[in-house]
Amino acid sequence: MSPTAAASGELEVLDGIGFPTKRDEAWRYAPHRRLGQLTFGPNADGLVGESVELGQRIPDVGGPRIVVVNGVVSPELSTFDAEGGLHLSTLADAADSGAATVRGHRDGATIVDAYAALNVAYATDGAVIRIDDGAQIEAPIHVVDVAVPGSLTNTSTSAVVIRLGAGSSATIVETRIGIGTSFGGSNVHTSIVLGDDAALEHILIQDLPAQQVHLSRVEITQGERCTMRTRSFNLGGSYGRLAYTVELTGADAIADLSGLFFGAGEQILDQQITVVHSAKDCTSRQSFRGLLDDASSGVFNGGIDVCPGADGTDAEQSNDNLLLSNRAEVNTQPRLEILADEVACKHGATVGQLDDTALYYLRSRGINAEDARRLLINGFADQIVDDVSVDAVRTWITRRLGHDHD
Amino acid sequence: MLHVENLTAAIGDKQILKGLDLDVGAGEVHAIMGPNGSGKSTFAHTLAGRDGYDIGGIVTLDGADLLDMSPEARAAAGIFMGFQYPVEIPGVNNMYFLRTALNSVRRARGETEIGARDFLAVAKEAMQLVEMKQDFLDRAVNAGFSGGEKKRNEILQMAVMQPRLAVLDETDSGLDIDALRIIAGGVNALRGPERSMIVITHYQRLLDYIKPDFVHVLVDGRIVESGDHTLALHLEDHGYADFVNTDLNDAPERPLAGASS
């Protein structure tokens, strides 16, 4: 049942943690049997990056790019050219040079579950993005993670460390894909710390092959008055799990999280969101949409924790879902824990089907039934897609979802 | 052009249309008036092809059997229905929707599709007709539109689609006088010798602006009286009481100048 670590000697990281089961609320709908077949270990070096064909599998966002293949940065596929105020390096290099940010990341990582522990143990490489105080970085920075299930272990492990200095701003795109048709996947953790008055848009695209599994954690800590926008697109894999934890530690900060999960076949697409308001007068928004076809299923487990003293909190959460087949399902759950005064918290969830009246309306305008259906589906998805500021990402997702809306 | 003969429509056990007869010639504007629940909207939907009715009788457009066609095939054949309650479609851009609609019927008719630039010219002309600004096209279809904006958007679509037969279902409901004037202006501008219209309304007010060639009174699923526009004036004064719950053969005599059946 438990995943096997290739290097069993390092399994002490798992001591006392144990793998999650269906009894853990955050893992209730996960395919535990399949997760049990994932194998973790040190990433094999020497995988040739140039043999990986990225092509149309990732958006071409321009700007610098760091490509991680099976847990190891590929110099051939990466371009580290950075404008002033932006510092890009590999996690391996940063760790060698003992950069304080990286030590801080690894020491401070929250071990919420066994996969977090495995990530800390085995993520020896990945991307480190540091932005100086006050630097406004225009070009989007792209971090691509490619899983190539190998013979030693089938699951790659990497980490992304993002540090924004006070008053700086940037846009970062993370695309997670995989190669091949064999079983396996990736376990990638991202750590983001925003200094006071910083602004970051972080876009995460999960599009692994249908045989693979993706496990992601994004941990965000925000300082005063800073703005964090996350946009997630959970599209690929047999199980795609995107977990976000946002800690609002400085007053007047804004966390705006939105995402789309679009499943077909027997995919399970899981979003686990927690926003912790620990400072006064912060605003958070969670807006997630699910589109589920065939026998796919979606999970939205969204938490808002308002700590004692976090007065003036303004938090909203919504999860709207469209079931496109009578075999599809979604499990949506709000978790609100409010321990402060003068708090405005709202949450709402909807589950529906395509609106027959809207279909008829479109058809009465000459649009055939299939096109009308697609138009409604795309319209539902576009309300999340349109939130993305990077044109190339919008275009890519639009095409990935099977339409060429202009 | 449109021939309707003994049209019946039911939802489950509830019979709504009970043998409706109507002929609409090319270029004619017919008003259909009637009390609530008389079947006016159902008649419009049976022409547009809404699912869910058990339908009997004959409806042909230029000789082709309309009842056999899907809603999209009817649109391609030239039917356009202006909805009483236009549907909000969040996330679908109005301009994109309009162009998709126009190109869908063009494709179905074997015509070439219209490109984005040419379409913009078509849309701009249509927008002037209903006094809309450009930002109207950039918004999602009807989403967050006021009642008046939704109805104007219906007429905008009609102007773009250039139908053979427009069926306007209570296009005047919920409009203030300015919006009514704009919409009626748009409809009048679209009148032409090859375009027919069926204007369904509860009130005579709209017909002050859109002068019909014929007025029909629909009561309990049948057309019980037909005449010229003066019939509408009579209804304004006397209501539908003359036609409701009375044996039609015993209906009181009314002065109906120029009435035709």
- A201: which residues sit within 8 A by CB, 6+ positions away? A170, A171, A172, A229, A230, A231, A388, A389, A390
Provide the domain count of chain B: 1
Distance CA B57, CA B78 (A): 21
Pairing of strands A141-147, A72-73: unpaired
Distance CA A123, CA A71 (A): 7
The CB-side HSE value for A45 (13 A sphere, CA atoms) comes to: 4
Cβ distance A94 to A128 under 8 Å? Answer: yes
> What's the pLDDT at B45?
97
- Closest chain B residue to A406, measured at CA: B96
**Encoded tokens for A57:** 């599998």
User: What angle do the packed helices A356-363 and A369-385 form, to 10 degrees?
Assistant: 120
> What's the pLDDT at B261?
39
In a domain, B55, yes or no: yes
Q: Tell me the pLDDT band of A305, cut-offs 50, 70 and 90.
A: very high
Q: What is the pLDDT of residues B177-235, one digit of tens each?
A: 888 999 999 999 999 999 999 999 988 888 989 999 999 999 999 999 999 988 888 88
DSSP letter for each residue of B103-130: HHHHHHTTPPPPPHHHHHHHHHHHHHHT
Q: What's the gap in Å between the CA of B143 and the closest CA on chain A? A: 11
User: What angle do the packed helices B116-129 and B94-108 form, to 10 degrees?
Assistant: 110
Average pLDDT over residues A315-331: 97
Distances, alpha carbon A235 to alpha carbons A117, A123, A212, B68, in Å: 25, 24, 12, 40
For chain B, how long is the longest CA-to-CA vector? 61
Q: Tell me the pLDDT band of A13, cut-offs 50, 70 and 90.
A: low
Cβ distance A222 to A275 under 8 Å? Answer: no
The amino acid at A202 = H
Average pLDDT over residues A381-392: 94
In a domain, B197, yes or no: yes
Torsions phi, psi for A116 (to 5 deg)? -65, -40
Q: What is the pLDDT of residues A197-208, one digit of tens each?
A: 999 999 999 999
Give contacts of A262 with chain B, Cβ < 8 Å. none
> What's the pLDDT at B59?
97
Do the Cβ atoms of A366 and B48 come within 8 Å? no
- Among A246-255, B34-43, B248-257, top mean pLDDT goes to A246-255
pLDDT above 60: residue A181: yes
What is the residue-averaged pLDDT of chain A?
91
Distance CA B233, CA A291 (A): 53
Residue A193, helix vs strand vs coil: strand
pLDDT above 90: residue A12: no
A380 touches chain B (CB under 8 A): yes
In a domain, B96, yes or no: no
Q: Is the dihedral of CA A94, A100, A103, A108 positive or negative?
A: negative
Q: Tell me the pLDDT band of B63, cut-offs 50, 70 and 90.
A: very high
Q: Nearest Cβ partner of A361 from B76, B87, B140?
A: B87
> What's the pLDDT at A376?
94
Distance CA B72, CA B44 (A): 15
Q: What is the pLDDT of residues A271-296, one digit of tens each?
A: 999 999 999 999 999 999 999 999 99
Task: Quote the DSSP letter at residue B254.
Answer: -
A384 touches chain B (CB under 8 A): no
> What's the pLDDT at A53?
84
Average pLDDT over residues A139-154: 91
* Residue-number span of the structural domain to which B57 is assigned: 2-87+164-250
Q: Tell me the pLDDT band of B134, cut-offs 50, 70 and 90.
A: confident
CB contacts < 8 A (A, B): 84
Q: What is the pLDDT of residues B65-78, one digit of tens each?
A: 999 999 999 999 99
Question: Buried b / exposed e across A295-316, counting CB within 10 Å, b at 16+?
Answer: ebbbbbbbbbbbbeebebbbbb
> What's the pLDDT at B260?
42
Do the Cβ atoms of B97 and A368 come within 8 Å? no
Q: Tell me the pLDDT band of A2, cut-offs 50, 70 and 90.
A: very low
Do the Cβ atoms of B72 and A355 come within 8 Å? no
- Closest chain A residue to B154, measured at CA: A365
Distance CA A228, CA A404 (A): 29
Q: What is the pLDDT of residues A91-109, one digit of tens each?
A: 998 877 766 666 556 666 6
Distances, alpha carbon A183 to alpha carbons A154, A214, A237, in Å: 7, 11, 10
Q: What's the gap in Å between the CA of B248 and the closest CA on chain A? A: 35
Q: Which of A221, A223, A301, A296 is nearest to A259 (CA)?
A: A301
What is the residue-averaged pLDDT of chain B?
90
**Encoded tokens for A321:** 């879902």
CATH of the domain at B71: 3.40.50.300
> What's the pLDDT at A256?
98
pLDDT above 60: residue B256: no
In a domain, B130, yes or no: no
Q: Nearest Cβ partner of B48 from A357, A364, A405?
A: A364
Do the Cβ atoms of B49 and A367 come within 8 Å? no
Cβ distance B168 to B82 under 8 Å? Answer: yes
